[in-house]
């Protein structure tokens, strides 16, 4: 496994774990014991990891000569972001109509933009 593949795998695992943690924290958002600082720190971790995933895919694509492999890299990345977006929408539903923190909103928007960008890259390279 190359260094980039290892970084991508590690990032994916870490992000999935952090999303589960955020889901649990979001469920507690209406409790008095809710720790907003812990929630914001977790969101910052998610922001970092979703960016890393995209950047690693770019690096892998640049290092790959086969256009079909490049398309496959973007397809995998897009599927990852679709899952992340689905998880984020679930957290948004858990929080309900309560006012959303700007960082929370930005994180969801970033995931949505990266899901769209990775889909665009996949379509471009698959055609």
Residue ranges of domains in the chain? 3-26+35-126
- Each residue's pLDDT tens digit, 36-75: 788 788 888 888 889 999 999 999 999 999 999 999 999 9
pTM of the predicted model over 0.75: yes
CB 64 within 8 A of CB 88: no
The span from the CA of 77 to the CA of 115, in Å, is 8
Q: How confident is the model at residue 1 (pLDDT cuts 50, 70, 90)?
A: low
CA atoms within 13 A on the CB side of 63: 11
81 and 13 in contact (C-beta within 8 Å)? no
CB atoms within 10 A of CB 69: 14
- For residue 63, the SS3 value is coil
């Amino acid at each position: 496994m190359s260094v980039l593949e290892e970084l991508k795998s590690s990032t994916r695992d870490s992000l999935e774990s952090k999303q589960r943690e955020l889901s649990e924290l979001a469920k507690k958002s209406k409790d008095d014991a809710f720790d907003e600082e812990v929630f914001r720190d977790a969101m910052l971790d998610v922001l970092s990891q979703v960016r890393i995933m995209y950047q690693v895919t770019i690096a892998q694509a640049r290092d790959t000569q086969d256009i079909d492999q490049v398309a496959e890299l973007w397809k995998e990345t897009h599927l990852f972001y679709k899952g992340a977006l689905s998880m984020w929408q679930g957290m948004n539903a858990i929080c309900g109509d309560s006012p959303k923190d700007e960082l929370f909103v930005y994180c969801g928007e970033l995931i949505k933009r990266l899901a769209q960008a990775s889909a665009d890259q996949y379509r471009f390279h698959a055609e």
